[in-house]
Structure 1
């Protein structure tokens, strides 16, 4: 497997791979500031690079940047799930997604492509997450929650059942979401309230 992105998030992705015995052969980056991450060599990515038959994962934490790079690469994307994650056999997870340690994904949940499901997150039954979503550590989504593309749910946030969260929204750390959230909103507090809306 090949990674793109030599940031701090890359280290977490490497940890997932090591937990299941997946070998990372190399890491590419547009502007590498290091020569190696966790002893894996980092090389500058060239736009005319043709690659190999290996699978790729974009190891960039920022949702918008991850989407840009994914569209540029158009490679054969893989899937990484930490060995300690608990995943229902009735759920589905899209290519390019990474699922970190101690995560729980319950029955009939659908996770989109190129998502980050971070350490200790809980995603209950019948949730639907769009592409490029990031669920931060210890965040919890109750049953039937729908999350739009590119949304970031902050560390320790809680979302009540059957809530619809729009695209490219930000749910702040520790927020408690008790009602539907429109596209582009920034939510903070308990109960969660909109403090601004991004374009």
Structure 2
């Protein structure tokens, strides 16, 4: 009989909507949220979980807890991660997510409820794979990218760093998407996107 794994104690950086969802995933995974860190002085607790300080207080807790950045904005998440590379980062995977064989998910990434990630996919650090997204086989998603709810990423797609794929978007198979690309909600991408920028529509096109 296997011994139960000891629960992990986690501090969430960011006490807004995304942070609340992360807290729920941690609880449903059998681990414990010890508190939030947030720079908004009006926030004292979230669902009876205390806000224990500001983001600069990370160093006070760094030896005691795992951390996850519960902030949806890619650039803010990037700044915090770059300023704190040595933390023990927690990877949050909702129990209802379907994770295929050979999938790698990087430290600090959050995988929400109802997500499907199929075989041999590689997801980087501090990514967000949001509610009911489908990420098909042999996909690469680099660090700090946000895949929004109800998005479909088809097989063998490669997505760069710090991208944001809007809600309900579709990326067809074998597409390459460069770093810092923003895909508008409901867009469909059928060609490689080799420049950073904002892309919208069906098929997606770059706008100034």
TM norm structure 2: 0.90
Query: 2:74 matched to which residue of 1?
Result: 63
Residue among 131, 140, 159 paired with 1:119: 131
Query: 1:2 matched to which residue of 2?
Result: 11
CA contact (8 A) 2:146 2:162 kept: yes
Task: Tell me the C-alpha RMSD between the 2 structures.
Answer: 1.3
Q: Confirm or deny that 1:73 pairs with 2:90.
A: no
Corresponding residue pairs, total: 196
Secondary structure in 1 matching 2:60: coil
Q: How far apart, in 2, do the equivalents of 1:113 and 1:127 lie?
A: 15
Aligned pairs for 1:27-46 within 5 A: 27-45=36-54
Q: How far apart, in 1, do the equivalents of 2:132 and 2:27 lie?
A: 18
User: Structure 2: 5+ residue runs without aligned partners?
Assistant: 1-9
Q: How far apart, in 2, do the equivalents of 1:43 and 1:182 lie?
A: 43
Q: How far apart, in 1, do the equivalents of 2:116 and 2:41 lie?
A: 33
Residue among 177, 186, 189 paired with 1:165: 177
Secondary structure in 2 matching 1:25: strand
Q: How far apart, in 1, do the equivalents of 2:197 and 2:175 lie?
A: 14
